[in-house]
Every structure is written in structure tokens, then in C-alpha cells.
Amino acid sequence: MNNKNFEWLDFFDCFNCKKKLELCDPTEATVFCKECRQEFILTESGLPIIIKDIKPIKEEIETRGKDKEYWFNDDQVQKMLEGAWRHVFKQRCEYWKEILSKKLSDESVIMDFGCGDGANFSILKTLPHKKLIGFDYNLLRLEKAKKYEGSAEYLVMGNIFEDLLKEQSFDMIFCNHVVEHIEDDQKILDLFYKYLKPGGELFLGVPNEGSVICTIRDKAIQPGLREKTDHVNFYTAKTISELVQNSKFENIKTKNLGFVFPHTFIDKKLKSFKPTHDLLSMTAEKLFKSQSDSIYLSANKQS
Ligand SMILES: C[S@@+](CC[C@H](N)C(=O)[O-])C[C@H]1O[C@@H](n2cnc3c(N)ncnc32)[C@H](O)[C@@H]1O
Ligand SMILES: [Zn+2]
């Protein structure tokens, strides 16, 4: 990890004076804005904290972590690679790796928004790019991401709603399984539009939980399931496309991937065996595409 070279500063304006954040008297623990001397803290491991008000984030993470402690403490990446979801994870990664490899070049600057533990870095890093930045507001998860060898070149802790990233900074924003957690999803998409360079690429992954099969599962077969997740948005390919279109994106394309069995216990079992996973995925793709497990969407900002 390379945070010590401070190149991550390129992506931010100072939240105090709004000028480009420039390096001035860096110490082991802080960086100062050259213009106004606003202080920015670095964690012990060198992670920059670019946030105006850390208190509400800390409180939110602590509260949410209380009833879902495993979510914060478990090794999510290891779980994805080795647990029951490994075939799903592999299928998704293979899909987006192929799509993204055609869209990126050695000059591409990529942001993985809501990178969490960095589950997607090991693949993003193998794709053509110039810089890869991981951005998330959960320090615990970012510190875990930092430990992985294949981690992003730059990791920054911040809250996207503070709108501190610089306009037109990225060629691609990659955002996997984040917007379904966020109340004001339209605002996030507007910000993505702002932070992309003209012609830049948005690549989103979301669960297809607005499908008929998931709605029946959540309302009739396993009522109360929705209250147990921290998802607040339940999309279909149509509803997520509309949202992206409302934020002025163009050239919107979606792909439905995987299958869902309408009971989470059986679904997990079927997905954990490669033959059933592959067979049901293939069948779903041919016959019940709209009832898939996830949706991937790509779109462009106007050139
Ligand atoms: C379900 S996780 C997805 C992690 C990763 N993208 C993946 O594919 O495994 C959602 C992530 O979004 C982050 N997040 C949610 N709201 C955020 C915000 N306002 N600013 C920054 N990060 C946010 C959370 O901290 C969490 O790590
Ligand atoms: Zn300043």
C-alpha cells in the first residue's frame, strides 16, 4: 500500500477552503491543507480520513454493528472465496472482469466506491488501469482491505454524502452491492455523475430483489426477511435503469445473472454445490432471466 506517497490527494478538495488539497508539512499522523491549514488525520497504518464529521459515522457503524457483529468482524473476503457463496462470487467476478477489461485502458483511473474489505480489488488490480482508489466510510473494513496483498493503490476513508471528491476525477466508478443499502440512492448516482470524467463509465452491481420471485419470498414464504437485512432498496433491472437515467447517464445496459430459489436456506444450499449452481444459473438465464439473483449495469456520462 502506497498511501504514504499522498497521491490520493489528487482526488480531493479541502472541505474547509474548497481549494485543491495540497500537501503541506506532512507528519506521520496528519496532512495539512496548504491554503487554510485544515488538518487531515492519517490512521496509524497511513489511511487518510477525509471527513468533516466522523461522529455520526462512528455511531451509525457501532449501532449497525451491534446486531450484525459478524458483518463487521468476519473475514468477508475469505467467506466469499471459500464459503457457500463461492460459486456465486466466482460467476459474478468472471462476468464483470470480462466486461470491464474491454472498457479500461492503462490510463484509466478507477474508484471502487464502498469497497469495504476490498473483496473486488484482487480482480480490479489485474485489469488495465493507472490508479485504483478504494473509498469507504467504515474504517474497520478499510483496515482489513489494506492488509490484503492485492489491495488498491490508494484507500481513503470518507462519506460520499459530504461531497468532497473532486469533480471529473474518474474514468470508471465501480460500485458493487452498495446502493441497495442507501436511502438516498438517487443522490449517490448524481454524485457518481459529477465525479466521472466526460464519457466516463459507471459499473453497478445490485441484487435483483424487486423481482417477482424475491417479492413472493419476502412477503409470503419468509415474511420478515426484509427487516433482517440492511437493504433499503429492492431493485429490478427496470427500476435501477430508471434511477441511473434520472441522473443523466446514457447508454444504459443491464445484465441479469444467476438464479434465486424462493427460500434463503434452500437457495444457499443449491448455490453451494457447483453442479446445481451452474445448472440452475444456466436454466434461469435461458428461461427466467428477469428472476435472476443479481443485476449488473453499465452506463456512461455524456462525452
Ligand atoms: C455491502 S458492502 C459492499 C462491499 C464491497 N463493495 C463488496 O462488493 O463486497 C457496502 C459498503 O458500502 C459502504 N458505504 C455505505 N454507505 C457509504 C457512504 N455514505 N460513504 C462511503 N461508504 C459507504 C459500507 O461501509 C460498506 O463497506
Ligand atoms: Zn483548505
Pocket test residue of 136, 183, 184 for ligand 1, highest count of atoms within 8 A of CB: 136
pLDDT digits (tens, 9 = 90+) for 71-80: 666 677 777 8
User: Does the beta carbon of 178 sit less than 6 angstroms from any atom of ligand 1?
Assistant: yes
For the entire predicted model, the pTM comes to 0.93
Side chain identity, residue 254: T
Average pLDDT estimate for 193-217: 97
H-run or E-run covering 156: strand 154-157
Between CA 151 and CA 185, with CA 132 as vertex, the angle to 5 degrees is 100
Q: What is the mean pLDDT of residues 148-170?
A: 88
Q: What is the domain partition of the chain in residue ranges?
A: 1-50, 55-300
136 burial type by CB count under 10 A (0-12 exposed, 13-18 middle, 19+ buried): buried
Residue type, 265: F
- Tell the residue nearest (CA) to atom 10 of ligand 1: 178
- Average the pLDDT over each of 19-23, 118-122, 261-265 and give the range with the smallest value: 19-23
pLDDT over 70 for what percent of the chain? Answer: 93
Q: 55-69, 91-105, 107-121 — which is least confidently predicted?
A: 55-69
How confident is the model over 162-186, as a mean pLDDT? 95
Please give the pLDDT value at position 277. Answer: 96
Share of the chain above pLDDT 90, in %: 61
Average pLDDT over the chain reads: 89
Mean pLDDT over 263-284 rounds to 95
Position 5 scores a pLDDT of 62
Task: Give the residue with greater pLDDT, 278 vs 26.
Answer: 278
Q: What type of residue sits at position 94?
A: E
The CATH code that applies to domain 55-300 is 3.40.50.150
> What pLDDT does residue 13 have?
85
Listing DSSP states for 203-255 in one string gives: EEEEE-TTSHHHHHIIIIISTTHHHHS-------HHHHHHHHHHTT-EEEEEE
Return the pLDDT at 243: 98
Which atom of ligand 1 approaches the CA of 181 most closely? Answer: 15
Q: How confident is the model at residue 2 (pLDDT cuts 50, 70, 90)?
A: very low
How much is the average pLDDT of 163-182? 95
Best of 112, 137, 229 to mutate for ligand 1, by most ligand atoms within 8 A of CB? 137
Ligand 2 centroid to residue 32 C-alpha, Å? 8
Q: How far is the CA of 9 from the centre of ligand 2 (A)?
A: 12
Q: Is 207 in the pocket of ligand 1 (CB under 6 A)?
A: no
Ligand closest in space to the Cα of 19: 2
The residues, any chain, with a CB within 8 Å of residue 128's CB and separated by 6 or more, are 101, 104, 105, 106, 108
pLDDT tens readout for residues 222-240: 998 888 888 999 999 999 9
Cα–Cα distance for residue pair 64/215, rounded to 1 Å: 25
Residue 196 has pLDDT above 80, yes or no: yes
| Residues in CB range of 81: below 8 A, 6 or more apart | 89
> Which ligand approaches the C-alpha of residue 180 most closely?
1
pLDDT tens track for 73-104: 667 777 788 889 999 999 999 999 999 999 99
Give Cα separations from 105 to 55, 130, 228 (angstroms). 39, 8, 41
Q: Which of 54-58, 102-106, 158-162, 188-192 bottoms out in mean pLDDT, i.e. has the lowest?
A: 54-58
Q: What pLDDT band is residue 69 in, cutting at 50, 70 and 90?
A: low
Please report which residue ranges of 53-208 form alpha helices under DSSP H: 55-67, 69-73, 76-82, 86-103, 121-124, 139-147, 185-195
Torsion of Cα atoms, 174 then 179 then 182 then 184, to 10°: 90
Residue 18: which region, alpha, beta or left (left: phi > 0; alpha: psi -120 to 50)?
left
